[in-house]
Amino acid sequence: MSEKLHSSPTTQIVSPFMQEPELMLECVNLCKVYSEGPAEVQVLDKLNLRVYAGERVAIVGASGSGKTTLLNLLGGLDLPTSGTVMIAGMNLASLNEAQRGQMRNRNLGFVYQFHHLLGEFTALENVCMPLLIAGMDVTMASRKGEAMLTRVGLAHRLEHKPSELSGGERQRVAIARALVTEPRCVLLDEPTGNLDRHTAHEIHHLMAELNTQLDTSFIVVTHDEEFARSLDRVLQLRNGRLSPLEVGGGHQASNPADDATHED
């Protein structure tokens, strides 16, 4: 019998007085060290982060600063050297590999710079894949997949394979696949890095619409400064830690999650 996932009492942190939003993701004193021969390279150093339901957070930083490493840890694709990652109240380190897979399927969506669609399957089949993995029957999965593809403007492309789609269309399919399970949070690694400016703007607009409609949190690693500054918060990853980045020539707007990155 498979082990069940257990939520902790911190799944919802809501103050009856302050109306504080639900805490979706939290990491505390997160460290990641890689060994390179006799040397050790510390990529993340006691990093702290809080992301609330419906919040859109951009993470920027120089190449090699550890942004993708951080996303992999937040998504449970890798485990930290020390520190904790909590997703919807669940400590990822306390879950075995199968449980982490279940957690990802239920709570997280992933969108990468390269869409990673399966070339032999249609757009609809690609989007349905996470639902089928979760055990949903084919008919219901098809209905939900079609509805999500319609939502991202691809109702006319359901039966097209990735090779028959434009770059922007492929990325829309990838976003639909990430959202079809109605995840609490979506992690995006340079989602428009391979798109032209016009198509990138369309994807940014789509993400903003879906964020409003679905109240899904977005954590986006990006080099696109204009896009980053359109989100709720911009955090810079440097020397293994996150710090708020000023936007628009001034300080970041006040936000319930302003304490999301705190250094020792």
- Per-residue pLDDT, 9: 32
* Confidence label for 245 from pLDDT (cuts 50, 70 and 90): confident
Structure tokens at 110: 């992933």
Question: What is the per-residue pLDDT for 123?
Answer: 95
Picking from 17-31, 41-55, 90-104, which range would have the lowest pLDDT averaged per residue? 17-31
pLDDT value at position 36?
77
> Residue 73 — φ and ψ, nearest 5°?
-70, -40
How far apart, in Å, are the Cα atoms of 35 and each of 38, 42, 63, 147, 259? Answer: 7, 9, 19, 46, 32
In percent, the amount of the chain with pLDDT more than 70 equals 84
Round to whole Å and give the CA distance between 101 and 89.
16
d(CA 121, CA 111): 18
pLDDT at residue number 20: 67
The end-to-end CA distance of the chain, in Å, is 43
Can you give the pLDDT at residue 5?
37
Place of tokens 């520190």: 83
What is the distance between the alpha carbons of residues 18 and 70, in angstroms, rounded to a whole number?
30
pLDDT at 181: 85
Can you give the pLDDT at residue 58? 93
Give residue 237's pLDDT band: very low, low, confident or very high (50, 70, 90).
Answer: very high
Would you state the pLDDT for residue 147? 92
pTM of the model: 0.77
Q: How far is CA 91 from CA 46, 79, 96, 204, 254, in A?
A: 17, 11, 11, 31, 28
CB atoms < 10 A from the CB of 106, how many? 17
Q: What pLDDT was estimated at residue 264? A: 38
The arithmetic mean of pLDDT across residues 140-159, rounded, is 91
Report the distance separating Cα 168 and Cα 147, nearest Å.
Answer: 19
Residue linked to tokens 């084919």:
138
More confident residue, 96 or 51: 51
Looking at residues 157-186, what average pLDDT do you find?
88
Q: Does position 137 have pLDDT exceeding 90, yes or no?
A: yes
Distance CA 8, CA 10 (A): 5
- Tell which wins on pLDDT, 50 or 12: 50
With cut-offs at 50, 70 and 90, classify the pLDDT of residue 75.
confident
pLDDT at 227: 84
Does 254 score more than 50 pLDDT?
A: no
The pLDDT value given to residue 32: 92
Cα–Cα distance, 242 to 183 (Å, whole number): 24
- Give CATH for domain 21-248: 3.40.50.300
Model pLDDT, residue 253: 40
Q: Name the least confident of 75-79, 111-115, 172-176, 216-220.
A: 111-115
Q: 161-170: per-residue pLDDT in tens? A: 999 998 888 8
Confidence check: pLDDT of 160 > 90:
yes
pLDDT at residue 13, as a whole number: 36
